[in-house]
């Protein structure tokens, strides 16, 4: 196989987490070796549907997820599971970005294949931590908000780049430092170290979203700031929560005007 789009679809469709990780790393290595490329003759992408994923976790409305404190072993495991679920979704999101959007520059495909590789490493770290806590991925319920947005934006690459990495995934930049401090206070240095790795690398992933969002705007003659807020309104009703991690978001390519406008739109509670 030499078609990167087909290889991405194989990764996307894998239901067993271990197999998805194996295929992801194998595909990334093949891409780096020059064995895979985005083939203009590749069959067009199929309509989006659920990605490959195991039967568990059970997916429920986010409001149905119980609130657990970090003071208990169960609460700590539930937090690790929630982050693992985000990372598992992020593998699928990265491969869907490779598979679905055609005719993009070579660096676009490199960025998202690299992101998939990183997210797979993150998921493996979190799975190991879950095992240390006596649990496995699937032991707790989860929600499907990230993939629901992928489905909404499937036909619109500009919206996908704006809203998945720069809104939903960027939320991790805001909340992870607080999680790190709470876990450090509880003495969970193993999870602190894992979250530190994830936070550093997620800045680059959000930056990739910024880079390709701006590319799409330039391609289509759109103002990137006004378009971003129009997409927020149209797809999300400006359903945001603050506060925002300004230094991390600036490093990830946001500009001060965007952050000021986001802060004005979002409650901080």
Contact status, residue 164 vs residue 146, Cβ threshold 8 Å: yes
* Domain annotation covers residue 20: no
CA–CA separation, 26 vs 10, rounded Å?
Answer: 11
**Domains of the chain: total:** 1
Write down the residue that tokens 């607080």 correspond to: 178
Vertex 61: Cα angle to 158 and 94 (nearest 5): 35
Identify the domain containing residue 167 by its residue range: 72-265
CA atoms within 13 A on the CB side of 55: 0
* Domain annotation covers residue 28: no
Contact status, residue 101 vs residue 158, Cβ threshold 8 Å: no
* Domain annotation covers residue 92: yes
CATH of residue 156's domain is 1.20.1260.10
Encode the chain (269 residues) as per-residue pLDDT tens digits: 699 999 999 999 999 999 999 999 999 999 999 999 999 999 999 999 999 999 999 999 877 787 777 878 889 999 999 999 999 999 999 999 999 999 999 999 999 999 999 999 999 999 999 999 999 999 999 999 999 999 999 999 999 999 999 999 999 999 999 999 999 999 999 999 999 999 999 999 999 999 999 999 999 999 999 999 999 999 998 778 889 999 999 999 999 999 999 999 886 54
* Domain annotation covers residue 243: yes
Based on the number of CB atoms within 10 Å of its own CB, is 69 exposed (0-12), middle (13-18) or buried (19 or more)?
Answer: exposed
* Domain annotation covers residue 133: yes
CA–CA separation, 169 vs 198, rounded Å?
Answer: 12
* Domain annotation covers residue 55: no
208's enclosing H/E stretch is helix 189-220
Q: CA separation (Å) from 15 to 10, 92, 144?
A: 10, 11, 16
What is the reported pLDDT for 102? 97
In degrees rounded to 5, what are phi and psi of residue 64? Answer: -85, -10
* Domain annotation covers residue 50: no
* Domain annotation covers residue 105: yes
């Amino acid at each position: 196989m030499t078609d990167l789009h087909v290889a991405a679809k194989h990764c996307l469709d894998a239901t067993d987490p271990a197999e998805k990780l194996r295929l992801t790393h194998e595909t990334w290595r093949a891409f780096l070796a020059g064995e895979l490329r985005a083939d203009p003759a590749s069959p067009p992408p199929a309509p989006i549907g659920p990605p490959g994923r195991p039967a568990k976790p059970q997916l429920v409305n986010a409001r149905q997820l119980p609130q657990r404190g970090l003071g208990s072993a169960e609460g700590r495991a539930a937090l690790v599971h929630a982050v693992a679920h985000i990372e598992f979704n992020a593998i699928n999101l990265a491969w869907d970005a490779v598979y679905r959007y055609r005719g993009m520059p070579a660096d676009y495909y490199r960025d998202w294949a690299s992101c998939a590789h990183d997210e797979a490493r993150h998921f493996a770290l979190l799975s190991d931590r879950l095992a240390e806590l006596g649990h496995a991925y699937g032991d707790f319920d989860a929600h499907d908000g990230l993939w629901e947005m992928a489905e909404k934006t499937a036909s619109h690459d500009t919206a996908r780049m704006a809203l998945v990495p720069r809104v939903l995934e960027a939320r991790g930049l805001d909340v992870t430092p607080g999680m790190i401090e709470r876990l450090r206070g509880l003495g969970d240095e193993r999870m602190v170290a894992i979250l530190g790795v994830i936070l550093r690398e997620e800045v680059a992933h959000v930056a990739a979203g910024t880079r390709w969002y701006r590319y799409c705007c330039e391609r289509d003659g759109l103002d990137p700031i006004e378009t971003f807020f129009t997409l927020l309104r149209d797809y999300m009703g400006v359903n945001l929560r603050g506060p925002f991690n300004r230094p991390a978001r600036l490093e990830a390519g946001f500009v001060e005007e965007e952050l000021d406008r986001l802060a004005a739109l979002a409650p901080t509670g």
